[in-house]
Structure formats: C-alpha cells, structure tokens
A and B are shown apart, each in its own frame.
Chain A
Amino acid sequence: MESTVVIIGVIAATCVAIFGVVAIVYLLFSDNCLPPQPVSRDKNLKASILAVIGSGGHTSELLRLMGHLGSHYEPRYYVMANTDVMSEEKVHKLEKDANIMYRIYKIPRSREVKQSWITTVLSTIVASVYALPLVFKLRPDIILCNGPGTCIPVCLGGLILKLFYPLKLVYVESICRVDSMSLSGQILYHFADSVIVQWPQLQKKYPKSLYMGRIV
C-alpha cells in the first residue's frame, strides 16, 4: 500500500515537473503573442492530423470539422477515451468510405463528468503516461481538439514535441460555449497555435482567439 502511494507520488511529481519545465520553456521562447504563422511546405506533401475525440457533443462537432478536410490530411489519427464506445462507431462511419488511412487509439479517460478535481489530477497523470509516448511516436503535423479533459494529456505531448518538430496545435471551442471558455480552452488558450471560438462575445473576452462564424 505504502509503496503504491510512493510510486504514485513519484509519477505525479515527475509529470508536474515535466509540465512545469515545458510550460516555462514554451512561454519564454514561443511567439505565442503573434498570430500563428503559416507553415511553408511543398503543396504535394500531405499533412498528418491527430484528432482528439471528446465524447457526445464534442465528438459530433469534431467529426463535422474532420469531414470537411481535404484528402491531403492523411493519415488521420483519432485518439479517444477507452470508455467511449459510441464515438468509435461514429469515426468508422465517417472514415470507412473515404479511402483515407486512419487509425483509432485509446487512452484512459482524464475526467468523467462530475469527477472530483483531486482525482482528476491523478487520472490526468495516468492518461499522460499513455498519451505522451503515443504523440511522440505518431509525430503528427496537426493536433486538433475541442475538449474536454482527454485532450489535455495529448496536448501536453504536443507541446513537448513542438520544441523539436513543427507541429500546429489547434483548439476549437465548442459551440455550446457562448459566454465562457471551458477549462480545457482556458488552459490551451496560452499554449495552442490557434484557439477558435464560435461566438463573437467570447472572442472579445479572449482577444488572441479567432472567430470565423459558427463552424459546426
């Protein structure tokens, strides 16, 4: 029992330390105050995209966005919580006819609805243990997410990867968020390349965010 507590403590401290260092390095050296700079690329190359699937309404919104992307976004990696069965079916339904390479990966869930904040920290750490190596292995050109909690460990991996690799982190706030940003949005507002909101009054509160009308 005691050793379990120690192990959890060590893992927790390590993760907090990694996040702290990454956050500081990132904030010091990033050009986050400027609008995101377009990547210069060979137009014939494809861009790989990692989409973090939330659940329920978040899934529907994200898959709508994915459904409008051209075939030059390939391969497509979908990361979702291992408790989410409904979303998996929806991804297959969207992608199976498109003849585009896609794959689904599952990680432990960061936060169930109504879970307390203390256990949320622990389960986020557990999810990070799975998410970080996955992101490093896949090395996507884009990470696209729209909350909720599952996206945080994946984005943490993305931030570390960004130090070595030209990756774009794009966060789209849910259409449900009219006046207030979600917790994931508030965190990623400081780290993502683009934060897109869907209502003008929310854009006013978060000046660095982008508003391009309703997009889902």
Chain B
Amino acid sequence: METRSRRQGCKTAFVTVGTTQFDKLIETMCEEETLKCLSKLGFTKLILQQGNGKFDPKSGTLHGLTVEHYRFKPSIRQDIEEADLVISHAGAGSCLETLEAGRKLLVVINEGLMGNHQLELAYQLHRDGHLHYCNCSNLVATLETKNFDDLMTFVPGRSQVFADYLDKLMGFT
C-alpha cells in the first residue's frame, strides 16, 4: 500500500513499546549515535510511542530527523502502516500487527523482562525469517549491518480453517 509518508518522499521509523515500560529503548532511540545512524540510512522522521515509561524524549528536529512522540493512541495501526521500519518491543500484538501490515520489523528485547514467554513468538518469527531482533546495546550495530529487504513476507493466519473445523465438529458440514 502506498502510504501518505511514502508519497511525500520521507522515510519514517516508528518505535512502539505497547503498554509496557521500556525506557531503555526510548532513551537508546534518542541517543545521538542512533539518530545519526537513522539519518545516514535515509530516515527523515522518527515517531516514538513511549507507553508507560518515565523518560520524556525531546521532540523537534534532531540530527536531520523530525522526532515526534506520544504515550498512547487508541490504535497505532496508522503509524505502523505509514512507517518504513517498525522498531518494537517483543509483544505479540505489536509484532503481528506490523508483520500483517507488511512492514519491516526490528524487535528489541527488553532484558529486564527475560523469561517472559512473549519472547517465544519473537524468536520463532525470527527463525522463520520475518524479523530481526537485538537488544538496546547492539541496536545501532543491528540497524547498520542487517539487511531488512531480505525479510520474508508474513502470511496472516487463516481463521477460516478453524471455522471449517468447528463446522465439521458440530456436524454442520
């Protein structure tokens, strides 16, 4: 889908932490090194969805990037669809929504939440070639070295298969 931002020729990175607190990611995104890296990769806009974190990022134009931020929106779908790259926490909702929108995805593991079963899905989607993942300390290196154009297209799940199964189980077909 040709989105508004693409037509205007600007390249957007969207960072989302869902309803979690992930200050370290927002802080890392706002570091000079990260901003310069994004700028070098051709990004012109950075949108931060900061969730329940305490860190308050600056907004405005920083190192050639327009930086915007907000805590929550009823739906982040539009921001995902208009982004060229989504940088997300490992939450299943954000990951699946991004992949279903056909967007490039980098998952940043929150090391404060290790042992969380949500990581299972992110690792599996990585094994299947749908996303790259990193942690805050190697985020810049990952952005610089990983090829996001090689990521595999994600085919959404087929709920109709379930509906057909239930019809059979219940004797409708």
Interface size on B, residues (CB 8 A): 26
- Nearest chain A CB to B127's CB is how many angstroms away? 9
Q: Does B170 contact A (CB under 8 A)?
A: yes
What is the total of A-B residue contacts with beta carbons within 8 Å? 90
Would you list which residues of chain A between 160 and 215 have a CB under 8 Å from chain B? Answer: 168, 170, 172, 174-180, 182, 193-194, 196, 198-199, 210, 212-215
Asked if A67 and B157 make an inter-chain contact with CB atoms under 8 angstroms apart, the answer reads: no
Query: B56 contacts which chain A residues (CB < 8 A)?
Result: none
Indicate if the CB atoms of B170 and A168 lie closer than 8 Å.
yes
Note all chain B residues with C-beta closer than 8 A to A196. Answer: 162, 165
Q: A57-B93, A60-B93, A175-B96 are in contact. Are A68 and B121 (CB under 8 A)?
A: no
CA distance A196 to B157 in the complex (A): 14
Say which residue of B124, B157, B170 sits within 8 Å of A39 (CB atoms).
B170
Contact A72 B172 (CB under 8 A): yes
Structural contact, B117 and A176, CB atoms closer than 8 A: yes
Chain B residues touching A, majority SS: helix
Q: Is the CB of A168 within 8 A of B169?
A: yes
- Residues of B within 8 Å of A68, CB to CB, are 159-160, 162-163
Say yes or no for B7: interface residue by CB 8 A criterion: no
Q: How far is A215 from B170 in the complex, measured between Cα atoms in Å?
A: 18
Residues from chain B with a CB closer than 8 A to the CB of A210 are: 165
Cα(A68)–Cα(B161), bound, Å:
9
Interface of chain A: mostly helix, strand, loop or mixed: loop
B9 interface hit (Cβ, 8 Å)? no
Q: Which residues of B are interface residues toward A (Cβ below 8 A)?
A: 91-93, 96, 117-118, 120-121, 123-124, 156-163, 165-172
Q: Please tell me if the beta carbons of B162 and A215 are within 8 angstroms of each other in the complex.
A: yes
Select one of A40, A41, A57, A168 contacting B92, CB under 8 A: A57
Interface residue tally for chain A (C-beta within 8 Å): 42
A172 and B158 CA atoms in complex are apart in Å by 14
**What distance in Å separates the Cβ of A189 from its nearest Cβ neighbour in chain B?**
17
Closest chain B residue to A36, Cβ basis: B169
| CB–CB B172/A178 < 8 A | no
A65-B159, A172-B162, A212-B165 provided; 6 other pairs, C-beta below 8 A?
Answer: A38-B168, A47-B170, A64-B157, A73-B166, A142-B170, A177-B120
A194, B169: Cα distance in complex, Å: 9
Query: Considering the chains assembled together, what is the distance between the CA atoms of A180 and B120 in angstroms?
Result: 9
